[in-house]
Amino acid sequence: MKILITAGPTREPIDPVRFLTNRSSGKMGYTLAGAFIHEGHSVLLVSGPTHLAVPENVDFIPVETAAEMHEVVSHHIGRMDIAVFAAAVADYTPAKVANQKMKKSGDSLTLELVRTADILGAARQKFDFLGTLVGFAAETENLEENARDKLSRKACDLIIANDVSKPEIGFDSDSNEVLLVYPDRSELLPTASKHEISLQLVDEIIRLHATRSRSS
Ligand code: PMT
């Protein structure tokens, strides 16, 4: 199978030396990429900035901003069988990027932010992606309810939900615990290393793709 995976954070520039970002390390997406390769699939990893080594045999396109990730995904998703969106993409970006380093002035500073493109949301609606679509949901409350909402709004086949309020799982941790949210059911994968979780996710996603292909 041909798999597209997004991973890592995005970096939204404010001026030449500052940016907005988040705590994603890229570990979840990179481990998943390695697990798909291990099972004999081909993987294109589109990643924001991380400190991780790219897993062997993975095709890799580095990006910085949400807009760049949107552009790269729009070019490649059409030839994929499966797309998995593990990246923590900024929802907002500065309205203007200063050309020079911004100087201090006054006691407060207000930054105007504008919405970024919703890449996962665009997969079906704009990119006309027909393959198996898997999103993540990073939640701090109402995990299943919020994930189920994303599943239907973004026309996904599966949402992998993680509770990012728990420091021992989720962002930047070596472990995760995920709730698999399908249209007709949910299933918990209890806390395990991201490596172990990735092996289970590969099995689940490949099984899901096979079921989907049989019924279409
Ligand atoms: O990278 P790690 O440190 O290993 O941490 C892993 C993780 C916590 C980042 C990962 O498991 C995870 O939850 N990734 C999704 C993070 C996220 O931004 O979730 P969200 O609920 O805000 O977004 C929902 C989905 O829409 C995600 O699939 C996201 O990739 C996608 N999205 C969001 C915004 C946007 N503009 N475009 C998108 O494609």
CATH number of the domain encompassing residue 210:
3.40.50.10300
150: how many CB neighbours lie within 10 A of its CB?
A: 18
Q: Which atom of ligand 1 is nearest to the CA of 146?
A: 21
Which amino acid does the sequence have at 98?
A: A
- Give, for ligand 1, the residue of 10, 136, 162, 172 to mutate: max count of ligand atoms closer than 8 Å to Cβ: 136
> What average pLDDT score do residues 81-104 get?
97
The token duo for 8 is: 């890592």
- Phi, psi angle pair for 43, to nearest 5°: -130, 135
In-domain check, residue 15: yes
Q: Is 158 in the pocket of ligand 1 (CB under 6 A)?
A: no
In-domain check, residue 99: no
Name, in order, each residue with C-beta under 8 angstroms of 104's C-beta and a sequence gap of 6 or more.
none
Q: Is 89 in the pocket of ligand 1 (CB under 6 A)?
A: yes
Q: How far is the centre of ligand 1, averaged over its atoms, from the C-alpha of 161 (Å)? A: 9
In-domain check, residue 132: yes
Across 39-43, 121-125, 167-171, least confident range? 167-171
Q: Is 138 in the pocket of ligand 1 (CB under 6 A)?
A: yes
Q: Which atom of ligand 1 is nearest to the CA of 31?
A: 4
Distance of CA 207 to the CA centre of its chain: 20
In-domain check, residue 106: no
Question: What is the structure's pLDDT at 167?
Answer: 85
Distance of CA 87 to the CA centre of its chain: 3
In-domain check, residue 100: no
Q: Is 36 in the pocket of ligand 1 (CB under 6 A)?
A: no
Domain, as residue range, for 171: 2-93+112-215
> What average pLDDT score do residues 71-86 get?
98
Query: Catalytic site residue 22?
Result: yes
Question: What is the structure's pLDDT at 41?
Answer: 98
Residue 49 has pLDDT above 80, yes or no: yes
Residue 216 has pLDDT above 80, yes or no: no
* % the chain with pLDDT above 90: 94
Rounded distance, CA 202 to CA 163, Å? 20
Q: Is 136 in the pocket of ligand 1 (CB under 6 A)?
A: yes
CA-closest residue to ligand 1 atom 36: 118
Name, in order, each residue with C-beta under 8 angstroms of 76's C-beta and a sequence gap of 6 or more.
4, 44, 46, 61
- Give, for ligand 1, the residue of 45, 73, 120 to mutate: max count of ligand atoms closer than 8 Å to Cβ: 120
With H, G, I as helix, E, B as strand and everything else as coil, classify residue 207.
Answer: helix
pLDDT bracket for residue 215 (50, 70, 90): confident
Asked whether 21 and 87 are in contact (CB, 8 A), the reply is: no
Rounded distance, CA 180 to CA 159, Å? 6
pLDDT tens, position by position, 135-163: 999 999 999 999 999 999 999 999 999 99
In-domain check, residue 121: yes
List own/partner pairs for 169-176 with CB under 8 A and 24 or more apart.
170/138, 171/22, 171/23, 171/24, 171/25, 171/88, 171/138, 172/23, 172/24, 172/25, 172/27, 173/27, 174/27, 176/28
In-domain check, residue 159: yes
- For every residue of 79-144, DSSP letters joined together read G-SEEEE--B--SEEESS--SSPPPP-SS-----EEEPP-HHHHHHHTT---SEEEEEEEESS-HH
Q: Is 70 in the pocket of ligand 1 (CB under 6 A)?
A: no
Count how many domains the chain has: 1
The token duo for 40 is: 């004999």
* Residue-averaged pLDDT of the chain: 97
In-domain check, residue 105: no
Between residues 216 and 64, the one the model is more confident about: 64
Residue 60 has pLDDT above 90, yes or no: yes
Asked whether 93 and 20 are in contact (CB, 8 A), the reply is: yes
pLDDT tens, position by position, 6-25: 999 999 999 999 999 999 99
